[in-house]
Amino acid sequence: MRGKYADFDRWIPFIRKINFIEETMLGDYYFSMVIMPDDSVISLEKEDITYFHSVGVSKKSDILNKIRKLNIANWKRRYELFLAPTDGIDWSLEFECLNRSQEYKKFKFGGYNVFPDNFDDMLTTLKIKPFHSERYTFKSLDEFKELVEIGYELQFVLRGTCWLVEPSDYGIDSRHLCIACDPEKEDFLVEFKDTEEFLNYKINGKQIRDQWEDITDWQY
């Protein structure tokens, strides 16, 4: 189902467990928040076939207040493209709830290569940091620029959207930028005469060159 959960907000006080899974070709990442009987919240994470380990303890009231502010009730249950690549990011976010009458309720959101607008805010709020995203980030702007200049078809994630920059047919230094495999978009969004023009292009009101530290999950 692609609709929204009309009763999600009503069940927030009764959240007992939160599960987040992200699966990519670079590896799988698992994150859980478990609310204990004393109302403390233990955060656990693991990568691939390793064991879960604790990454922090929080207060239940703090976590629930943050979840309310995320307005997850307005999220669609599923985000995906009509045609999607086989090397994308498959993610799911699940809330398990148990109310005072011992009624159990589960809310599950997910997607493939498509994300809610405030997906990054959710990761930050819950302190979810996929290991592979940390590994596959650039060490400098020059490193990112070099891969673009070499002429690779470079795919990367920025602000929750999967982008593709690739050589164009209009000159050895020219580039195309597109939203990767989105059938609702044109073949390319913008064409650039060279790498500098590409780096000066604005995504969400900010030049790409000023967002290189936020680029994750790149591959070519």
Lowest mean pLDDT among 100-109, 167-176, 206-215: 167-176
- When mean pLDDT is compared across 21-35, 106-120, 171-185, the lowest value belongs to 171-185
Q: Can you read off the two tokens belonging to residue 164?
A: 């593709």
* Range name among 12-16, 59-63, 84-88 with the lowest pLDDT average: 84-88
What pLDDT, in 10s, does the model give residues 70-106? 999 999 999 987 655 556 788 999 999 999 999 999 9
Contact 37, 119 (CB under 8 A): no
pLDDT at residue number 134? 58
What order do you get walking across the sheet with 175-179 strand by strand?
Answer: 190-192, 175-179, 161-167, 154-158, 216-219
**Model confidence at 156: pLDDT above 90:** no
Q: Buried (b) or exposed (e) across 62-98, using 16+ Cβ within 10 A?
A: ebbebbeebebbebbeebebeebeeebbebebebbbe
Domain span(s) for CATH 3.30.1560 in the chain: 8-134
Mean pLDDT (the chain) is 82
How many CA atoms lie less than 13 Å away from 28 in the CB half-sphere?
11
What pLDDT, on the 0 to 100 scale, is given for residue 1? 46
Burial group, residue 126, by CB count within 10 angstroms (0-12, 13-18, 19+): buried
User: What percentage of the chain exceeds 90 in pLDDT?
Assistant: 30
| CATH tag for 8-134 (out of 3.30.1560, 2.30.110, 3.40.50, 1.20.120) | 3.30.1560
Are the C-beta atoms of 44 and 34 separated by less than 8 Å? yes
| pLDDT one-digit tens code per residue, 21-41 | 998 776 788 989 998 888 888
Task: Give the residue with greater pLDDT, 47 vs 30.
Answer: 30
Task: For residue 93, give both structure tokens.
Answer: 């976010």
* Residue whose C-alpha is closest to residue 211's, from 167, 168, 156: 156
Q: Is the pLDDT of residue 202 over 60?
A: yes
Q: What is the dihedral of CA 163, 194, 215, 50, to 10 degrees?
A: 80
Cα torsion 176, 169, 80, 184: sign: positive
Residue with tokens 């599960």: 19
